[in-house]
Amino acid sequence: MRPTLMPLDDAIAQLLAQLPAHSATLPGIDHVSTFDADGRVLAQDLVSALQVPAHDNSAMDGYALCSADITRAGTVLPMTQRIPAGSSGHALAAGSVARIFTGAPIPLGADAVVMQEDCEPLKDSADDATVNIQVNVVPRPGQWIRRAGEDVRRGTVVLQKGERLTPAALGLAASIGMSKLPVTAKPRVALFSTGDELVMPGDVAPADMKPGAIYNSNRFFLRALLLRLGCEVTDFGIVPDRLDATLDALKKASQQHELILTSGGVSVGEEDHIKPAVQTLGELNLWQIAIKPGKPFAYGKIGRGDGLGSTHFMGLPGNPVSSFITFLALVRPFLLRMQGVADVATKSIALPAHFTWAKADKRREFLRVRRNAAGGLDLFPNQSSGVLTSAVWGDGVVDNPPGQTIAHGDGVQFISFADLLS
């Protein structure tokens, strides 16, 4: 009798239960340059010691004035000062205007800025403090003024602990004076592939490949995915299809790493040694998930043998699309939670299917699709787990429930690769 496959949501819940819900599991905090913190996870709330902007300032190049002085378009007032960005002027003389530039502080007595396109100097010398300015619009109080603190208030939390830093977040941190940021440590991940059929690109020319040999594509995209998630990766290469070699690789990988990630060898064939090796060195907690592609997924723990506890183990299928999908669905949220990210749920949006899917599967399916100009989704014609071109052609997947067929025009749940890979 075949064992019951675990639903994906249950598997994710069990994986995340291995880690604290609201804090990183990795020891220590790194203080890194804000320049180098993209993609890292904040270890502490970031509280602003100042307000941004610090003062009311001009949102335009133009003229600062008191709106009550302009009762009709075409009013002419003298310009009595010039305020470039980075300097501060003096109080505005009654019945005058101040030449002002974007970002410059608003002088006391001014309550509006009129952009330079709506004004006309009546003398040729723009540097002459007595030049007259014709204001060709009637301004509203407050127009083109950025108020002090409208972006950030002093004492507020601008970025929260557990937030994964983006380029915009780095800019926000810099705007409150943060040259370094406290971030969680990087997960140390040991990576290796199993399979006597695997060959590294560059080691054997395509014309010299033996029958049954394949290039190890998984090693490349898995390493890239790990690096994108902020991991330190130790690549243990290709491990032969032998139990003793698999045991030795797992023992070595368990040292100084928080996670061992393998590709291949997690099925039920005679040459698949991952399962017995993990059970020999530790424990196997999850085995086979009800998803397609990606059923042969494994999770367990390997004892380090040094009194320091155990190392998490995740075994991915050998077929490249299966390996890719299971990484995004299961490994990604686990590694984010390990770094302290609280919200690791996959985001999806409803879009119309511009295809039909007539054969329902018992498992939850992830169909490679891409968005089209009509606002719908096109389906890659070959959904085999070995066709990696589907993951390059596509820009996401349809998350299709078990037993579900799809008719043209049906609303489906689309998960973007861009969201998962950022």
pLDDT tens for each residue of 159-173:
999 999 999 999 999
The answer to whether residue 344 sits within a structural domain is: no
Position 198 scores a pLDDT of: 87
Rounded Cα gap, residues 219 and 217, in angstroms: 5
| 309 and 372, same domain (yes or no) | no
The answer to whether residue 403 sits within a structural domain is: yes
pLDDT-based confidence at residue 307 (cuts at 50, 70, 90): low
Block residue for tokens 């033996």:
210
Q: Could you tell me the CATH number of the domain that includes residue 166?
A: 3.90.105.10
How many percent of the chain have pLDDT more than 70?
Answer: 94
Residue 5 to residues 8, 115, 149, Cα–Cα distance (Å): 9, 66, 54
> How much is the average pLDDT of 345-360?
96
Across all residues in the chain, what is the average pLDDT? Answer: 92
- Count: domains in the chain: 4
Position 146 scores a pLDDT of: 96
Q: Could you tell me the CATH number of the domain that includes residue 93?
A: 2.170.190.11
The token pair at 147 is 């108020």
Q: pLDDT per residue over 111-159, tens digit each?
A: 999 999 999 999 655 555 568 999 999 999 999 999 999 999 999 999 9
| 112 and 94, same domain (yes or no) | yes
Q: pLDDT per residue over 90-114, tens digit each?
A: 999 999 999 999 999 999 999 999 9
| 256 and 300, same domain (yes or no) | yes
The answer to whether residue 151 sits within a structural domain is: no
Q: pTM, whole model, 2 decimals?
A: 0.86
| 112 and 20, same domain (yes or no) | no
Question: Closest by alpha carbon to 167, among 40, 50, 47?
Answer: 40
| 79 and 41, same domain (yes or no) | no
Q: pLDDT per residue over 216-256, tens digit each?
A: 999 999 999 999 999 999 999 999 888 999 999 999 999 98
* Domain-ending residue, one of 279, 307, 338: 338
Provide the 3-class DSSP secondary structure of residue 192: strand
Domain that holds residue 133: 57-146
| 137 and 178, same domain (yes or no) | no
Position 305 scores a pLDDT of: 61
Cβ-contact 58, 113 below 8 angstroms: yes
| 223 and 252, same domain (yes or no) | yes
Rounded Cα gap, residues 117 and 360, in angstroms: 63
Residue 137 to residues 112, 119, 122, 145, Cα–Cα distance (Å): 12, 8, 16, 16
Rounded Cα gap, residues 163 and 385, in angstroms: 34
Q: pLDDT per residue over 309-336, tens digit each?
A: 789 999 999 999 999 999 999 999 999 9
Cβ-contact 183, 26 below 8 angstroms: no
| 100 and 123, same domain (yes or no) | yes
Q: pLDDT per residue over 193-207, tens digit each?
A: 988 888 889 999 999
Q: pLDDT per residue over 367-390, tens digit each?
A: 999 999 999 999 999 999 999 999
Q: Could you tell me the CATH number of the domain that includes residue 203?
A: 3.40.980.10
Cβ-contact 179, 150 below 8 angstroms: no
| 190 and 329, same domain (yes or no) | yes
